Structures are given as structure tokens and as C-alpha cells.
Structure 1
Amino acid sequence: MAKGTKDDPWTLKTPPGTSDITLWRDPDASPPALVCVAGGTELRYHISAPEDLAAMLKAHDDWMELGNADEQKEARPGTIEAWARAPDNPKRGWYGLKKGLRGRFANYVTPVAEALGLVELEHNPKNNRARAK
């Protein structure tokens, strides 16, 4: 498995398996970031996102829908996407760091959490869910 650095990034697929994504941790960024390149777009999330997601799912103790949504769209309540924007999560709001590109957390962070062995993730064409391992 890749090291998850810029020189040795994770090359993964989105949960439905339809798109390739490349991710790595950038601890020197301000703030430290999990960088995701999807197509030609670079998104950034707080570096602790995979571990924070796993801790939340462990406390939830069941499957949770991903609920993918762009920043400009409302996240469906009770989903991972809604949690990643909630004022009561560990970051007290958005995990996404680039205004205008803060959404899609559930689509891009869950594959990393799965690759790290932190969560189980479904890979259906739609309505995927995740749970803590």
C-alpha cells in the first residue's frame, strides 16, 4: 500500500467505483491537510478526517449513509456528509478547507478510511454506507 505522501499517494476509487481519486497527507500545509485530486480538481480536508470519521462511526455503532453532496447543496440529515459539516463535530464545522469545494467529504474521505482499515465501506452504484471496523 502507498504511504499517503505526495511522492507516494493513495490511488483509490470513489465508493461506487466510478472515479479515480488520488490522495495524500500534507502535514506542512496550513492547516495540515488531507489532499484529494479528483479529475483536475484539488480538494482539501482536515488531516485528521479519516480518524475522526472512524471515531464517529464507532460511537454511532451502525451503518451510516454517506449522503454525498457538493458544498452548495444541503446535506441530508443523519449522513456522514451532514456530520462533516456539523457544528458539533470535532472541527466544529466543515472538514473541507477550500471554500466552494468543502463538500463531497463522504465521497472522498471514506475510501481513505477504508484503505487505512478504519471503516467498512459499501461499493454499490448508489446509496452507499460506511461503519467502523
Structure 2
Amino acid sequence: MAQEGTKENPWKLKTPPLTSDYEMYKDIKDGKEVIVCVVGKTTLLYDFRCLQDLHQMLKKHGDWMELGSADEQKPAKDGTVEAWGRSETNPVGGWYGLKKGLRGRFAMYIPPLMEKLGLAEVTHDSKGNKIKAK
């Protein structure tokens, strides 16, 4: 079996409310490790280091944290994973999303990958999902 998380064998995931399927894989773009997220015909890119950075932040937080997913053009609710994923105070000093116009939805697509990789637990309710570090 080919290694999972490659373009040839991507991680197959579902959004936290389990309503939509999408795929992710690790790649290199412009010399940088990225996570490629393919949702239907849309391709998003996230800085690969977000997995480690988010895991460390959640461990420090110590409890469940609301995801608060939002499109780039909409404000993120304070205290959520989405707000942290675009905050000037996170380790990259801003957006983990790398594709202008499609940098949001960090909290929709990254937490299920973290769950699959054994780094976190994610709730799967219809709304208001949360994440906690393992």
C-alpha cells in the first residue's frame, strides 16, 4: 500500500459535521512544505507547519476549543481555531492559508486531518464543533 498523504494516495477526509468529503496531501510549492486541500473543483493550500503549531497551541490551551470556521472575507470569532489560524500572534504571524482569496476555512479542513493523524479529537455535531489536542 502506498504511503497515505501523497498526491497519488491522498488523505480522504470529511468536514467536522461529516457533511462533505475532501482530500488532502503533502506537497512542495515554491520550496515550502504545504498541505494541498482539494474540495470539489477548489484547491486550497495551507502551510504544512500549521499541524505542529496548532497541536502545540491546543496542548497549551488544554481544553476544547471552538473551530469557528469562516471564509477569508468574513471575520473569525475571537477565541476560535479560525481566529488563531489568521492571527498576527500565531507562529507564522498571520494566515496559514496560502492562496489569496481562499485562505479561510482553516478550521474546517485542518482539524479533521489532525484527527486522522492522531494529534487531536474533533466533535462532529451539525454546528459549533470543537477540537482538543491528544
Alignment correspondent of 1:62: 63
Structure 2 residue matching 1:36: 3-state secondary structure: strand
Task: After TM superposition, give the deviation of residue 128 of structure 1 in Å.
Answer: 0.1
Cα RMSD of the aligned pairs, angstroms, is 1.1
Structure 2 residue matching 1:11: 3-state secondary structure: strand
Normalized against structure 2, the TM-score is what? 0.95
Cα shift readout 1:99-132 (whole Å, capped 9, x = no counterpart): 0000000000001000000000000000000010
Alignment correspondent of 1:12: 13
Task: Kindly tell me the number of residue pairs found equivalent between the two proteins.
Answer: 132
Q: Within 1, Cα distance between the matches of 2:49 and 2:4?
A: 16
> Structure 1 stretches (4+) deviating beyond 2 angstroms?
none
Task: Give the AA of the match of 1:70.
Answer: D
Q: Within 1, Cα distance between the matches of 2:52 and 2:7?
A: 19
Q: Does 1:29 align with 2:55?
A: no
| Alpha-carbon contact 1:21-1:36 (below 8 Å) kept | yes
Q: Does 1:86 align with 2:95?
A: no
Normalized against structure 1, the TM-score is what? 0.96
Task: Give the AA of the match of 2:29.
Answer: A
Unaligned runs of 5+ in 2: none
Task: After TM superposition, give the deviation of residue 52 of structure 1 in Å.
Answer: 1.4
Identity %: 56
Task: After TM superposition, give the deviation of residue 23 of structure 1 in Å.
Answer: 0.1
